[in-house]
Chain A
């Protein structure tokens, strides 16, 4: 659909972005990516296995010419680690984009927003297009924007929890205060959650677990594709106000 958007001069065709973790194999990852219609795929940065070098490469299945590869700093708990992974990712990849994660707590996987802010500032100065994974906190979102983030990626709920958008009101406020695009990252459990995020006016949604761990990941990828399109169209169409009482939609005139 003719609904493209730009971030730092990069054009995005799809408002559904997907992660590549937790799939059974690369073949399934590639099929889900295809079914989702996503044009942004996030990947993690890890050591090459130098003992078993025959292991396959993700990029043999996810063509960087077809998809925008968005490296992430998943698993980083400190600012120095997040910076190190970001710099390595830039050298391994083809762009300056990084989905910046500085995790603050192992149990909830909530971001360490103080560390995130510091890392965002440093990487933005180094020319990175920083996409920080943040809490659903409007003040932090604004601070990240001021620190040079090109978008903000607030969580809908904890990573992998599938609880949906737990605080749609905060999300609304983030959308009001942030001038940069808002991309929901984490929390989506099923199609309606993705639709809710888009109906609120979010610019895109990033989904991994909800697709990868569904019983049929390929079908769920397709469901998410339509959910995001439906939510976006509903947002742009302007929904009716909620009313407490009924309001007839058929004319009174002509009744017997």
Chain B
């Protein structure tokens, strides 16, 4: 199916968030995931089913103190 992941088109065989993170080689412990603007609890990654066209955001912590520009 085709997803939007972090702003770009992404073709995947993954059916759940857990599988998607596995495919992307991202450790689930250090990220948060949003699907269609809804924050998904980490405990639900394994059973949260993705649908074609879902908009997925995967975020983590980066260096930034007082301020950093968006999408710098």
A residues with a Cβ closer than 8 A to B are 18-23, 26, 29, 42-51, 53, 57-59, 69, 71-72, 74-76, 84, 87-93, 101, 103, 109, 133, 159-160, 185-186, 206, 208-209, 212
Q: Does B1 have its Cβ within 8 Å of any Cβ on chain A?
A: no
Q: A47-B6, A57-B30 are in contact. Are A93 and B61 (CB under 8 A)?
A: yes
Are B67 and A103 closer than 8 Å at their CB atoms? yes
Are B64 and A44 closer than 8 Å at their CB atoms? yes
How far, in angstroms, from A77 to B6 measured CA to CA in the complex? 20
B residues with a Cβ closer than 8 A to A are 5-8, 10, 24-26, 30-34, 37, 39-42, 57-71
Select one of A48, A75, A88, A133 contacting B68, CB under 8 A.
A75
14 further A-B contacts with Cβ under 8 Å, apart from A26-B63, A91-B41, are A21-B63, A22-B63, A42-B65, A45-B59, A45-B60, A45-B62, A48-B31, A74-B65, A74-B68, A75-B68, A92-B60, A101-B67, A159-B67, A206-B65
Closest to B60 in A: A48
Select one of B5, B58, B63, B66 contacting A209, CB under 8 A.
B66
Are A89 and B32 closer than 8 Å at their CB atoms? yes
Q: A69-B61, A93-B61 are in contact. Are A75 and B67 (CB under 8 A)?
A: yes
- A residues near B66, Cβ cutoff 8 Å: 19, 21, 74, 109, 133, 159-160, 185-186, 206, 208-209
How far, in angstroms, from A198 to B66 measured CA to CA in the complex? 19
Q: A88-B32, A91-B32, A92-B32 are in contact. Are A208 and B65 (CB under 8 A)?
A: yes
Q: A50-B5, A50-B6, A91-B32 are in contact. Are A19 and B64 (CB under 8 A)?
A: yes
